[in-house]
Amino acid sequence: MSIQQHRSAETRQKIESAALELFSANGYDATGVADICARAGISKGAFYHHFPTKHDVFLSLLDHWVTSIHQSLAAPPEGSAAEVLRSMPDIMGRVLADARGRLPIFIEFWRQASRNPVIWQAAMAPYHLFRNYFAAIIQRGIEDGSLRPVDPQAAATTLVSLAVGLLLQGTLDPTREDWAAASQNSIDLFLHGLEAK
Amino acid sequence: MSIQQHRSAETRQKIESAALELFSANGYDATGVADICARAGISKGAFYHHFPTKHDVFLSLLDHWVTSIHQSLAAPPEGSAAEVLRSMPDIMGRVLADARGRLPIFIEFWRQASRNPVIWQAAMAPYHLFRNYFAAIIQRGIEDGSLRPVDPQAAATTLVSLAVGLLLQGTLDPTREDWAAASQNSIDLFLHGLEAK
């Protein structure tokens, strides 16, 4: 990477960090390009060199989140389907650690998603990723005889719903429970209903 | 109710409807008391007769939601614990129908909750209600021998997480799946892991 490329990447990073802070603190609507530039310590020219609009910065932040989720699912651990599913709380722990303190920006994602179809598509992408990931694991478990012959897509929907509910509560209300223990207990209960006897 | 009391209740209702519309469309921060009065077709004097601040209208809307959830849990159906739990999708269907189209105001509840401890307490109340409700039913099922001897609070946390995840997805993305069928399937899977063999 040339010095110029390095500086360009650094500017982009500064814009995104500033936008993340301001969208979280004040909301998307109340944040202008001028505010982002002031916080990032850059000129408007530099901003528009990287992003055509404020909306594109927002989509880029959302995209980073989806990519980080995708990466955390990229390498499913070795082992039987039941073992892989039992490791789900570890994956969720990583997603939750990543989400910690970022509730305001997630709320901003949903808020904008409920108003804008492009953001909506991007915000829904993680659910599809998760469901297909778990459906494939459950399918494998049914084929190797370790799981009951359930509908893999339907069981994956249950599992994703459980994960979404645990993550939402763990993010909204982190101190109410030991959410790591609750995740472990929930997956054990789920597997108890799924494992072949 | 006298004519005067009736008119007073009507004014309060007008204020709440106007605030619900405006908070949903434009957000809490961007909505002023003057906007609410204009939409409701009332004077500022009438507004302040009913609510000391905009914040109090918001809390009242949140309170209506919590009350409606409380009422939907008020009369648990007759029958065994498993039968009652199997009827959960009906309860969820009612909550979901009630939530339909109200996503923007829920997002506004969470958004304000993440910033304000009083709203946060009020917004978390439904989770506690649900968990205690389900823990009591599971406890009954363990006592009558129809359910395995699990930790009722922990199993109730799983069930509430599942419900929260299904409701969130059903509200964010109503057309992606048949959420009533997904709820029914999820509760069957959950019960399969919970029922005494």
Q: What is the pLDDT of residues B37-60, one digit of tens each?
A: 999 999 999 999 999 999 899 989
- CB distance A160–B157 less than 8 Å? no
Q: What is the predicted pLDDT for the residue at B128?
A: 82
Look up residue A168 and give its two tokens: 């939402």
* Residue A76 pLDDT: 63
User: Is the model more confident about A101 or about B116?
Assistant: B116
Biggest CA pair distance of chain B: 65
B50–chain A nearest CA distance, Å: 29
- Asked whether the predicted pLDDT for residue A74 surpasses 80, the reply is no
Q: Contact at 8 Å (CB) between B168 and A123?
A: no
Nearest CA in chain B to A121: B173
Q: Nearest CA of chain A to the CA of B18: how many Å?
A: 19
Q: Give the pLDDT band (50/70/90) at residue A135.
A: very high
Is the pLDDT reported for residue A145 higher than 80?
A: yes
Q: Taking the model in full, what pTM does it have?
A: 0.81
Residue in A29, A157, A165 nearest the CB of B182:
A157
B16: pLDDT strictly greater than 80? yes
Q: Which residue has the higher pLDDT, B115 or B18?
A: B18
CA distance B13 to chain A (A): 26
Poorest-pLDDT segment among A170-179, B5-14, B179-188: A170-179
Considering Cα of B16, then B22, then B27, then B30, what sign does the dihedral take? negative
Under 8 Å CB pairs connecting chains A and B tally to: 131
Averaged pLDDT score across all residues of chain A: 86
Please report the pLDDT score of residue B77 as a whole number.
66
Q: Is B186's CB within 8 Å of A114's CB?
A: no
Contacts of A131 (CB under 8 A, 6+ apart): A153, A156, A157, A160
- Is there a contact between B51 and B30 (Cβ–Cβ < 8 Å)? no
Asked if B100 and B174 count as a contact pair (C-beta separation under 8 A), the reply is yes
3-state class (DSSP) for residue A87: coil
Q: Measured between alpha carbons, how far is B112 from B104 in angstroms, rounded to an integer?
A: 12
